[in-house]
């Protein structure tokens, strides 16, 4: 369907959902246009939609069923993503959900099965895969030979979003650790098979906002460390890959990659940073219109949540 534009229904207008809306309204996604939205806060959602000439629906099912909506995009707390997939499946429309796919692997598997039975294209927005540094690392990994050790971390400022401290939707392992688990799968080419984690509460009161973990990725018995903090005064995203021929060290927040061989360090060129939400939306709409597989199918989002479950089951009480 070259040249066709998809009508997009956006579920969720929180801090992250607004990023999706801004890209769509700014024309950053040439093959997608925002036509309708939903939000749990009906008064605020309706006012926001009316001021921009968009249709508003209070319920997910009504948004998905809107005749002007060709595809559903859900940017919601994790516990609501399976419901978005069910709503899209009920009307046979493609769906894109933010990471994580679901709050746990059982609900993730059920959501994958719903989409599979309906035969709809369905994608998880593992946005870090579209980061310029991560894209470059993916191309460079084969130069290391056999990979045997990976270290990934992320650092964030505390968040004011209350649902992040809700055991149903929140916790750092689920909401941020899922990025790290997916990157392990994406860069090491396997799946997390074993994990042991330690967690702490620094700012939060009900869920962890600090964790450190050791994992094993199979096949290949790649050892990995993964540690995250949402309780610091700065932001970073270190990735280190160690193989038989050398090392790659990078920071996906600060746009840096270096190669280490022997005692020599060499900085490597990196493409300029790109808005990853924009890239996700472009990749999704292109895949739908060109009738080709989505770049991050639900099964890969499920694998990341399964890794998260291993981490959470192994963790000491926060």
Assess whether 68 and 45 both reside in one domain.
Answer: yes
β-bridge pairing 95-98 and 122-125: parallel
Q: How much is the pLDDT for 165?
A: 86
At a CB cut-off of 8 Å and minimum separation 6, what does 151 contact?
Answer: 224, 225, 226, 238, 239, 240
In a domain, 17, yes or no: yes
Give yes or no for a contact between 102 and 257, defined as CB atoms under 8 angstroms apart: no
Answer yes or no: is 301 within a domain. Answer: no
302 and 181 Cβ atoms separated by less than 8 Å:
no
- 120 and 242 in a single domain? The answer is no
For residue 162, give the CATH number of its domain: 3.30.360.10
Q: Are residues 151 and 289 in the same domain?
A: no
Q: Provide the mean pLDDT of the chain.
A: 96
Same domain? For 84 and 51 the reply is: yes
Q: Do 123 and 181 belong to one domain? A: no
How far is CA 277 from each of CA 127, 128, 189, rounded to the nearest angstrom?
A: 6, 9, 24
pLDDT at position 170? 81
Task: Check pLDDT > 70 for residue 261.
Answer: yes
Cβ pair 270, 133 in contact under 8 A: yes
- Cα 309-310-311 angle, rounded to 5 deg: 90
Determine the pLDDT at residue 1.
44
> What's the pLDDT score for residue 198?
96
Predicted local distance difference test score (pLDDT) of residue 318: 59
Strands 32-38 and 222-229: unpaired
- Estimate to the nearest angstrom the gap between the alpha carbon of 282 and the chain centroid: 15
| Model confidence pLDDT, tens digit, residues 1-25 | 445 899 999 999 999 999 999 999 9
Query: Residue 28's CB: how many other CB atoms inside 10 A?
Result: 15
DSSP readout, 172-229?
A: HHHHTHHHHHHHHHHHHSSEEEEEEEEEE-SS-SSS-SEEEEEEEEETTTEEEEEEEE
pLDDT value of residue 162? 85
Residue 1 lies in a domain: no
Quick: pLDDT tens for 96-151. 999 999 999 999 999 999 999 999 999 999 999 999 999 999 999 999 999 999 99
- Match 């990995």 to its residue by tokens: 224
263 and 282 together in one domain: no
The predicted-structure confidence for 30-63, as pLDDT tens digits, reads as follows 999 999 999 999 999 999 999 999 999 999 999 9
| DSSP secondary structure letters along 122-188 | EEEE-GGGGSHHHHHHHHHGGGG-SEEEEEEEEE------GGGGSTTT--HHHHTHHHHHHHHHHHH
Kindly state whether residues 88 and 168 are assigned to the same domain: no
Range(s) of the domain holding residue 148: 131-269+306-314
Domain count, the chain: 2
Q: What predicted TM-score, i.e. pTM, was given to this entire model?
A: 0.95
Residues 154 and 249 in one domain: yes
Mean per-residue pLDDT, 62-82: 97
Instruction: Lay out the sheet containing 55-57: strands in order across.
Output: 55-57, 32-38, 6-11, 71-74, 95-98, 122-125
- In this prediction, residue 2 carries a pLDDT of 47
What would the mean pLDDT of 288-295 be, rounded to a whole number?
A: 97
| The predicted structure's pLDDT at residue 3 | 55
The structure tokens listed for 226 are 């993964």
Question: Residues 297, 12: contact at Cβ < 8 Å?
Answer: no
Regarding whether 106 and 81 lie in a shared domain, the answer is yes
pLDDT for res 169: 84
Asked if 184 and 91 sit in the same domain, the reply is no
Residue 209 CA to residue 154 CA, distance in Å, equals 12
- What is the C-alpha separation between 316 and 43, in angstroms, rounded? 41
């Amino acid at each position: 369907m070259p040249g066709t534009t998809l009508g997009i229904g956006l579920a969720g207008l929180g801090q992250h959902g607004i990023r999706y809306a801004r890209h769509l309204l700014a024309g950053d996604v040439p093959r997608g246009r925002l036509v309708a939205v939903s939000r749990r806060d009906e008064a605020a959602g309706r006012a926001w939609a009316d001021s921009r000439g968009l249709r508003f629906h209070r319920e997910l099912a009504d948004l998905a069923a809107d005749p002007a909506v060709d595809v559903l995009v859900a940017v919601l707390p994790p516990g609501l993503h399976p419901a978005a997939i069910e709503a899209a499946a009920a009307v046979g429309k493609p769906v894109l959900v933010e990471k994580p796919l679901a709050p746990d692997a059982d609900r993730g598997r059920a959501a994958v099965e719903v989409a599979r039975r309906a035969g709809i294209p369905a994608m998880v927005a593992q946005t870090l895969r579209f980061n310029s540094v991560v894209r470059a690392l993916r191309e460079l990994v084969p130069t290391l030979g056999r990979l045997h050790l990976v270290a990934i971390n992320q650092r964030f400022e505390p968040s004011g979003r209350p649902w992040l401290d809700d055991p149903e939707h929140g916790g750092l392992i689920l909401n941020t650790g899922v990025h790290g688990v997916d990157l392990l799968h994406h860069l090491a080419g396997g799946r997390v098979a074993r994990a042991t984690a330690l967690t702490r509460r620094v700012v939060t009161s009900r869920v962890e906002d600090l964790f450190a973990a050791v994992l094993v990725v199979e096949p290949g018995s790649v050892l990995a460390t993964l540690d995250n903090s949402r309780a610091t005064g700065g932001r970073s995203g270190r990735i280190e890959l160690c193989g038989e021929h050398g090392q790659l060290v990078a920071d996906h927040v600060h746009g840096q990659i270096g190669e280490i061989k022997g005692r020599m360090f060499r900085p490597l060129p990196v493409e300029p940073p790109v808005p990853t939400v924009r890239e996700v939306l472009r990749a999704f709409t292109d895949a739908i219109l060109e009738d080709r597989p989505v770049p991050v199918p639900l099964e890969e989002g499920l694998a990341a949540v399964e890794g998260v479950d291993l981490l959470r089951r192994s963790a000491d009480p926060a």
